[in-house]
Amino acid sequence: MKKMASIVVAILLSIMPINIAFANNNSTINISSKSAILMDVGSGQILYEKNIHEKLPPASVTKVMTMLLVVEALDSGKIKLNDNVQITGNASGMGGSQIFLEPGEAQTVDTLLKGIAVASANDACVAMAEYIAGSVEDFVGMMNTKAKELGMKDTNFVNTNGLPVENHYTSAYDIAIMSKELLKHDTINKYLTTWMDKVVVGKKQVTVGLANTNKMVKHYQGTTGVKTGFTQQAKYCLSASAKRGDTHLVAVTLGAQTSPERFKDASSLLNFGFANYESIKLCSKDDNVATLTLDKAEENKINLVAKDDLTVLIKKGSSKDFVKKIKVYDNPNLPLKGGTKLGQVEVYKDKKLIGKVDLVNTKDINKASYIQMLQRVIDSML
């Protein structure tokens, strides 16, 4: 259907230093958790690792994927925050952490998402799964499909909330990947960073106070999320993200023996990252980056924008040149929906790819009419 255009724009950015030779020196940080990772959200670079592909029970950190599917449904317009969700007996019967939903009541997506993100509500997870997919089983199928799309090879989900069940597992690396993906969605930011709130639930309209299970929201500078978890089998788990300037990092710790240990480990990882690395933003989401010429389209000049922010991570104090290449597809088949990938920006150092972002069209592209094509032929002759 598509092939890459033969003309590639290569720009030497000598004024923009970068060094990708990261010192992944695990001995500089003392981590007590069974498994841990520190990842740059922008580039995906791994700055620290300890047993990152070990398959472990994630407890409620599972809800990172649940929230990701909810915000994707919101951003696509499939659901809205003010939609009313009918609560089933299945949802209200979930044990563990909950907001005490009752069968037969209706709650908004906004309330349920708040319950999941702030209070780690198992009942709200099931309610949203049933609303989006029709059943928990189908929603779990969506979770596993999304995991495969993201390249999460150490993961198998069996439920939406992380309650103990056989064959439900993931890894620190996979959690970092899905956390990174969740953090791309602006919709979720206010929920992940809410410290305290309340919801009104039940047929008697009872007010339930919510306190964020992620204590770093209050106690760590620049915290942006993400999610805690605990079961007797999984022990204390955490995906914690923070942003300072353009540098956005996520630290995942699994299998800590105590709750303070997981927060201490995550803080140590984030401190290490912010002390030693910084991100350089090359372009922002929705920036116009390239123009695609399509002779057979209604509008033959198509603006291509960055699908996400493009950042590269450098070690503080380092300075080296890198090359940015802009590639666009040649003669894609028409028509095309808005948001279709039609190119890519790639950043290289010593011929090694260190960062990339997709280029997409902002609106639908339709075929030109016969009259338009004839007029273009006439114009070219004149």
Q: Which residues are catalytic?
A: 60, 63, 120
Q: What CA–CA distance (Å, rounded) separates 255 from 257?
A: 6
Strand-pairing partners, residue 302, are 292
Which of 148, 103, 150, 108 shows the shortest CA–CA distance to 128? 108
CA–CA–CA angle 75, 266, 157 (5° rounding): 50
Angle at alpha carbon of residue 318, lines to 316 and 323, rounded to 5°: 115
Q: What is the 3-state secondary structure (H, E, C) of the chain?
A: CCEECCCCEEEECCCCCCCCCCCCCHHHCCCCCCEEEEEECCCCCEEEEECCCCCECCHHHHHHHHHHHHHHHHHHCCCCCCCEEECCHHHHCCCCCCCCCCCCCEEEHHHHHHHHHHHCCHHHHHHHHHHHHCCHHHHHHHHHHHHHHCCCCCCECCCCCCCCCCCCEECHHHHHHHHHHHCCCHHHHHHHCCCEEEEEECCCCEEEEEECCCCHHHHCCCEEEEEEEEECCCEEEEEEEEEECCEEEEEEEEEECCHHHHHHHHHHHHHHHHHHEEEEEEECCCCEEEEEECCCECCCEEEEEECCCEEEEEECCCCCCCEEEEEEEECCCCCECCCCEEEEEEEEECCEEEEEEEEEECCCECECCHHHHHHHHHHHHC
User: What is the Cα–Cα distance from 324 to 333, expressed in whole angstroms?
Assistant: 27
